[in-house]
Every structure is written in C-alpha cells, then in structure tokens.
C-alpha cells in the first residue's frame, strides 16, 4: 500500500460453508472439503482489495486450518499483505456462554493454527 493513511479498512469473517450450515442447524455433509468460501470467495475478495488498494483483515476459524488447501490459501493472504485475525476454533454460536477456560482454548488453538501459516493474528472476533 502507499504511504497514505487508508480511507477505509475492511474486516472479513471467513465463515466457511460448514460453519454457516452449523449456524442454521444444517448437516455439514461435505461442506468442509467442498467450500466455495475458500475456493472462490477469499481469492475473489483478495483480488478486489488488492486491485483497489484496500487494506483488510481476514478473521479465520481455526478448524478450517486443519485443511492443507486452506492453510495454503491463508498463507497466500498474509503474503499478499492482508492481516490475519482470530475467529475462534469451532465457530460455536453463543461462545460467551462457554466456560472461560474453553473460550481461552478456542482462541489459543486458533492463534497457534494461524501462526503455522506464517500469520500473527491482529485481533479476535467472536
């Protein structure tokens, strides 16, 4: 990016298809593996942001980084200059109702998973 201060900054919650289906109590089926959020959405957004000079952070669900393909896609985002964010490990709805130790574990596991892709999380979104 240029030396100018950006007029805007975008934050993207990367809720994979499996996570969205989970939110609506739908079966996961093969949505973790066949996930258009990762195969099309992320690359499309990163191209738009890059070509427009828009800085962004992508908040990643840790479970997604169990997939080698998703690890590589996340690493490509950081390499392109986007900031990594932590979006919990399991994308559980009602996270604030969890015992504190479980919440901390969700955040720590995702932090560690993101770091294995070369990123250093800049924040957390529940």
Per-residue pLDDT tens over the stretch 33-66: 999 999 999 999 999 999 999 999 999 999 999 9
Task: Note the pLDDT of residue 95.
Answer: 83
Evaluate if residue 24 carries a pLDDT over 80.
yes
Task: Note the pLDDT of residue 3.
Answer: 66
Evaluate if residue 1 carries a pLDDT over 60.
no
* pTM, rounded to two decimals: 0.90
Q: At 2, is the pLDDT very low, low, confident or very high (cuts 50, 70, 90)?
A: low
Angle at 69 between CA 66 and CA 74, to 5 degrees: 80
Task: Note the pLDDT of residue 6.
Answer: 65
pLDDT > 70: percent of the chain = 95
Task: Note the pLDDT of residue 115.
Answer: 98
According to DSSP, residue 66 is labeled: G
Average pLDDT, the chain: 93
Q: At 96, is the pLDDT very low, low, confident or very high (cuts 50, 70, 90)?
A: confident
User: Could you tell me if 113 and 62 are in contact, meaning their C-beta atoms sit under 8 angstroms apart?
Assistant: yes
The more confident residue out of 37 and 8 is: 37
Q: By three-state DSSP, how is residue 63 classified?
A: helix
């Amino acid at each position: 990016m240029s030396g100018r201060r950006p007029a805007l900054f975008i934050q993207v919650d990367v809720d994979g298809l499996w996570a969205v289906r989970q939110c609506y109590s739908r079966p996961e089926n093969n949505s973790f593996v066949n996930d258009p959020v990762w195969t099309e959405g992320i690359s499309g957004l990163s191209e738009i942001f890059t070509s427009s000079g828009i800085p962004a952070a992508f908040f990643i669900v840790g479970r997604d980084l169990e997939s080698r393909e998703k690890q590589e896609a996340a690493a490509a985002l950081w390499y392109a200059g986007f900031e990594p964010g932590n979006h919990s490990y399991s994308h559980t709805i009602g996270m604030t109702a969890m015992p504190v130790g479980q919440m901390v574990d969700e955040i720590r596991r995702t932090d560690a998973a993101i770091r294995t892709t070369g990123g250093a999380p800049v924040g957390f979104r529940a």
